[in-house]
Amino acid sequence: MKLVHATKGRRINIIKARYADKELPAIDVYKLGDVNFVRDGNHRVSVARERDQEFIDAYVTDIDVPITLTPHMDKRSVLENKNYAH
């Protein structure tokens, strides 16, 4: 239960900061192909999505992968693409 309470508290603090028009730190993201993975900042992303926020500041680490990745791929299509690339 403590984890749920801590998570709720983080979200509340982020929402309060947004209402107070405070600037939040940029999130950290890994970008593989067309897919982004949030390394740090999941709560900020969640609150931004709820508020239909179009943009968010981010530090992006672009990682080159030998296959094309898209957000709609499932595990099977990734593995098929990987096998085809070799």
3-51 pLDDT, tens digit per residue, is: 566 678 888 889 898 889 888 999 999 998 889 999 999 999 999 999 8
Edge-to-edge strand ranges of the sheet holding 35-40: 35-40, 27-32, 58-63
Closest to 43 (Cα-Cα) out of 20, 9, 19: 9
Rounded-to-integer distance, Cα 42 and Cα 62, Å: 18
What's the whole-model pTM score? 0.72
Contact 18, 24 (CB under 8 A): yes
pLDDT at 1 over 60: no
